């Protein structure tokens, strides 16, 4: 998106763009040069539910270094989003190494220097987004929300609600008991906090694995969420915790709401695997992009009253993100867009039918 263009933005991520190397357990060979990063996958999640012209309402930032691949530039162009590409020829594009062990445990390190994003990176249209995805520490979360909402453009705009919705994804290495007080302080500044189950447990010093089944300890997830909800989330205390629990789906907790959603791709084997799930990288970020646009567009008005509808959108968004290494394939046909040969709305309708028969665990 040209910096001079003004567009109505429903979603903006402050997650970074990264070109990934992904290393799996043997004998699966590694894959390099993959479009990745929290920003890219969350933008994907929002873009899945935003066919043109809504595609322009999906905001994200790409810092293109001197080594930026032309094929990735072409892919971004085909998505037709509100992407702000900043040319930075004096540096190398941010690249990362991802290594996967047993039970999808991920290790990550940067291969080139990172370029973090903050409110100063936002164009005038991105700054007026109706929702923001943040992936950061508790203290940085507070700073980002404060600076975005303090912008004169936010304060005086009649294009968007006075306050956008903030969805916070805490960074894993600071999901530790020492950071819990800072986490509780950050909760007052956001509408949604969304850790995965391990990160949620990390704040309380808990191992979230069920010793009996080897899966997610759902009771402990619910107990930890209760503690966060009791402390109050958002300025009015009515915000939500959305826990991403991989194969076990997700859990929603807010005042008056406690609900599990299943994952879209259900287990086909005894160990919970599904052949459609190829690479879990980016599934959680894609989930949050879908969640954000669901909160904005999933009802007659934007807001947390759309949380359950948004969780269905999020679950479907994550399902597309994990079906391949890298990004799903976008194709235009006579009936509109398909991703990996599937119409997003049809998959959403299928998931909602299944939800009618889902029994809460």
Strand partners, 62: 85
Residues 271 and 34: their CA atoms lie apart, in Å, by 28
Residues 82 and 7: their CA atoms lie apart, in Å, by 8
Residues 179 and 142: their CA atoms lie apart, in Å, by 13
Q: Is residue 168 a contact partner of residue 284, using CB atoms and an 8 Å limit?
A: no
Question: According to the model, what pLDDT value does residue 269 have?
Answer: 64
Question: According to the model, what pLDDT value does residue 270 have?
Answer: 59
Nearest to 249 by CA among 225, 213, 215, 207: 215
Strand partners, 134: 168
pTM, whole model, 2 decimals?
A: 0.93
Question: According to the model, what pLDDT value does residue 5 have?
Answer: 46
Q: Strand pairing of 250-254 and 240-244?
A: antiparallel
Q: Is residue 297 a contact partner of residue 290, using CB atoms and an 8 Å limit?
A: no
**Owner of token pair 């040209």:** 2
11: left (phi over 0), alpha (psi -120 to 50) or beta: beta
Helix, strand and coil content of the chain, in percent to the nearest 5, comes to 40, 25, 40
Strand partners, 325: none
Nearest to 287 by CA among 234, 224, 229, 351: 351
Nearest to 12 by CA among 43, 37, 41: 43
Give, for all 361 residues of the chain, the pLDDT tens digit.
444 445 799 999 999 999 999 888 888 899 999 999 999 999 999 999 999 999 999 999 999 999 999 999 999 999 999 999 999 999 999 999 988 776 666 788 999 999 999 999 999 999 999 999 999 999 999 999 999 999 766 555 555 556 999 999 999 999 999 999 999 999 999 999 999 999 999 999 999 999 888 899 999 999 999 999 999 999 999 999 999 999 999 999 999 999 999 999 987 665 667 789 988 889 999 999 999 999 999 999 999 999 999 999 999 999 999 999 999 999 998 889 999 999 999 999 999 999 999 999 9
Tell me how far CA of residue 115 lies from CA of 9, 142, 311, in angstroms.
23, 19, 31
Residues 329 and 71: their CA atoms lie apart, in Å, by 14
Question: According to the model, what pLDDT value does residue 155 have?
Answer: 52
Question: According to the model, what pLDDT value does residue 161 have?
Answer: 53
Residues 259 and 360: their CA atoms lie apart, in Å, by 7
Nearest to 311 by CA among 217, 240, 359: 240
Helical segments of the chain, H only: 38-48, 70-79, 124-127, 138-149, 152-156, 180-187, 197-204, 218-231, 283-297, 307-321, 344-355
Contacts with 266 (C-beta within 8 Å, 6 or more apart), sequence order:
274
Whether residue 57 is preceded by a cis peptide bond, meaning omega within 30 degrees of 0, is: no
The tokens describing 120, both together, are 């100063």
Tell me the DSSP string of 52-70: TTGGGGEEEEEEEETT--H
How many CA atoms does the CB half-sphere of 135 hold within 13 Å? Answer: 25
Question: According to the model, what pLDDT value does residue 335 have?
Answer: 87
Question: According to the model, what pLDDT value does residue 3 have?
Answer: 41
Q: Is residue 65 a contact partner of residue 88, using CB atoms and an 8 Å limit?
A: yes
Whether residue 53 is preceded by a cis peptide bond, meaning omega within 30 degrees of 0, is: yes
Question: According to the model, what pLDDT value does residue 350 have?
Answer: 98
Question: According to the model, what pLDDT value does residue 275 have?
Answer: 85
Residues 118 and 24: their CA atoms lie apart, in Å, by 32
Q: Is residue 216 a contact partner of residue 245, using CB atoms and an 8 Å limit?
A: yes
């Amino acid at each position: 998106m040209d910096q001079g263009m003004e567009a109505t933005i429903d979603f903006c991520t402050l997650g970074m763009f990264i070109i990934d190397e992904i290393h799996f357990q043997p004998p699966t060979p590694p894959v390099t040069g993959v479009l990745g990063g929290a920003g890219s996958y969350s933008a994907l999640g929002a873009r899945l539910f935003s066919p043109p012209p809504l595609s322009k309402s999906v905001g994200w930032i790409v810092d293109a270094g001197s080594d930026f691949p032309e094929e990735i530039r072409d892919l971004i162009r085909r998505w037709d989003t509100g992407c702000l590409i900043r040319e930075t020829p004096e540096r190398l594009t941010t690249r990362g190494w991802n290594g996967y062990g047993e039970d999808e445990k991920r290790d990550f390190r940067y291969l080139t220097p990172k370029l973090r994003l903050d409110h100063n990176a936002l164009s005038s249209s991105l700054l007026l987004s109706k929702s923001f995805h943040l992936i950061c520490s508790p203290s940085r979360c507070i700073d980002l929300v404060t600076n975005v909402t303090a912008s004169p453009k936010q304060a005086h705009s009649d294009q968007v609600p006075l306050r956008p919705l903030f969805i916070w994804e805490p960074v894993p290495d600071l999901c530790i008991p020492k950071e819990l007080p800072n986490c509780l302080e950050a909760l007052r500044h956001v509408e949604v906090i969304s850790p995965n189950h391990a990160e949620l447990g990390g704040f309380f010093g808990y191992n979230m694995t069920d010793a009996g089944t080897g899966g997610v300890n759902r009771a402990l997830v619910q107990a930890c969420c209760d503690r966060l909800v009791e402390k109050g989330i958002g300025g009015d205390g009515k915000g939500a915790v959305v826990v991403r629990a991989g194969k076990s789906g997700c859990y929603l907790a807010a005042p008056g709401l406690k609900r599990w959603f299943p994952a879209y791709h259900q287990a086909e084997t005894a160990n919970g695997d599904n052949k459609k799930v190829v690479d879990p990288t980016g599934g959680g970020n894609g989930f949050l992009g879908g969640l954000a646009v669901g909160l904005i567009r999933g009802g007659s008005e934007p807001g947390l009253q759309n949380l359950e509808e948004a969780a269905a959108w999020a679950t479907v968004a994550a399902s597309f993100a994990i079906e391949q290494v890298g990004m799903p394939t976008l194709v235009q046909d006579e009936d509109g867009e398909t991703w990996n040969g599937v119409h997003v709305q049809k998959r959403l309708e299928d998931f909602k039918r299944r939800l009618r028969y889902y029994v809460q665990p």
